[in-house]
Chains A and B, each alone.
Chain A
Amino acid sequence: AAGVIQSPRHLIKEKRETATLKCYPIPRHDTVYWYQQGPGQDPQFLISFYEKMQSDKGSIPDRFSAQQFSDYHSELNMSSLELGDSALYFCASSLERQDYGYTFGSGTRLTVV
């Protein structure tokens, strides 16, 4: 079965640079979520999209933005990167039905140096 695809798997950036992470949800899933997991931390909800519209925001910094495109893939854009942005970034997809579970991608490991 198709899973949630994230790219790239690893990314190294310098401070103040920008980064773009991509997520391809499971086909026919209408909802995408982004999470950030710092070293030794639990995943923190950043932002979500339902049917290509932003639907909820969590602890996403103003330096970050995200969007979902017509083919349902999503991109997380991160600007003015800081050392503290180094983390695993996960994308998950689901159906907006409340009885549905989430499927997570393998994540993108971002290292800011």
Chain B
Amino acid sequence: KQEVTQIPAALSVPEGENLVLNCSFTDSAIYNLQWFRQDPGKGLTSLLLIQSSQREQTSGRLNASLDKSSGRSTLYIAASQPGDSATYLCAVRFFLMYSGGGADGLTFGKGTHLIIQP
């Protein structure tokens, strides 16, 4: 079964710290991996998209890396701010292996609930 795991489940750090969120997946046959942010009761905001052929993507204070062979991705947040407090979800677009369809869905991890203390 293709699964995505995120560690830690929750994280609370003081403002200004650099931090790393981890994502692992069970099958290296992926198209891409996407990191999302979700505020409580709200929608999913895409942060970074990494293709299977790429090693990292950067956007502002965010940097995401991908090691497809080991099934891992990390999201690095520099100089954290209270506004970064949210749940961060890792989602993988696996190759479709068992479905007859042509549009495969994303498989999500359970997320890391991040709190940045002022």
Contacts and interface: CB of A to CB of B under 8 A. Distances in A.
Given A42-B89, A42-B110, A45-B106, A105 B101 contact: no
Interface string A35-61: 100000111110011100011111000
Interface string B15-54: 0000000000000000110101000011111100101000
A33 B93 CA distance: 13
Interface residues of A, number: 30
Contacts of A90: 43-44
B14 interface: no
Contacts, number: 75
Interface string A84-104: 000010101000101101111
A54 B101 contact: yes
A58 B43 CA distance: 20
A22 interface: no
Tell me the dominant secondary structure on chain A's binding face.
strand
A88 B89 CA distance: 15
Contacts of A35: 105
Interface in B73-97: 89, 91, 93, 96
A42 B104 CA distance: 17
A31 interface: yes
Interface of A: 31, 33, 35, 41-45, 48-50, 54-58, 88, 90, 92, 96, 98-99, 101-107, 109
14 contacts: A42-B111, A43-B89, A45-B105, A54-B101, A55-B102, A55-B103, A57-B101, A96-B102, A96-B103, A99-B32, A102-B46, A102-B91, A104-B36, A105-B43
Given A49-B103, A104-B43, A104-B46, 12 more contacts: A35-B105, A41-B110, A42-B111, A48-B101, A55-B102, A56-B96, A56-B102, A96-B102, A98-B93, A101-B34, A101-B46, A101-B49
